[in-house]
Amino acid sequence: MRKWGRRQILLGGVLSAGACLLVGFLVFWKYDMQNVNNNSVLFRIIFFVVFLILRLSLSCAMGPVPWLYIAEIVQPHIVPWCSLLNWAMLGLITTLFPVLCEINNGNPAIAFFIFSCVAFCSFLVNRKVIIETKNKTELEIRK
């Protein structure tokens, strides 16, 4: 992580997650859930690949990088609030996903669209706010 920098890994992960969610939206929007039959191999392949890339981007970037970044940048007394915000957002996503699917007659397309918009907005905010840690020591980062 020190070689590439946490900022680049985080931005790449957020951007790839947003792109995967957008492709997921397009797939579910094209294939209405009531009309997808068991023989729709293309739908299953596309969704499997998109889901795999999404999980990889979340596991490699969005999972570990924020915790390493927070520990280096944020004052120790703020770290619990960061953890609280993380868990609250995870709870919100977990709660909203089935609600958004139900609103759209069981089709998760709208949920994928909303979450992709959030990911792209997160990319833009992170691009402006997050400082680069590439090739810097902890003392240089804390300055």
pLDDT tens-place string over residues 19-72: 999 998 988 887 765 565 555 777 778 888 988 998 888 888 777 777 777 777
pLDDT digits (tens, 9 = 90+) for 68-116: 777 777 788 888 888 888 889 889 988 998 999 888 888 888 999 999 9
pLDDT digits (tens, 9 = 90+) for 50-59: 889 988 888 8
Q: CA separation (Å) from 133 to 3, 91, 117, 119, 121? A: 9, 30, 27, 22, 22
Following DSSP, what letter does each residue of the chain receive, concatenated? -TTT-HHHHHHHHHHHHHHHHHHHHHHHHHS-TTT--TT-HHHHHHHHHHHHHHHHHIIIIITHHHHHHHHHHS-GGGHHHHHHHHHHHHHHHHHHHHHHHHHTTT-THHHHHHHHHHHHHHHHHHHHHPPP-TT--HHHHH-
**Residues near 3 by Cβ (< 8 Å), separated by ≥ 6?**
134, 135
**Residues near 127 by Cβ (< 8 Å), separated by ≥ 6?**
11
Q: Give the C-alpha separation, 133 to 143, whole Å.
A: 11
Q: Give the C-alpha separation, 123 to 79, whole Å.
A: 21
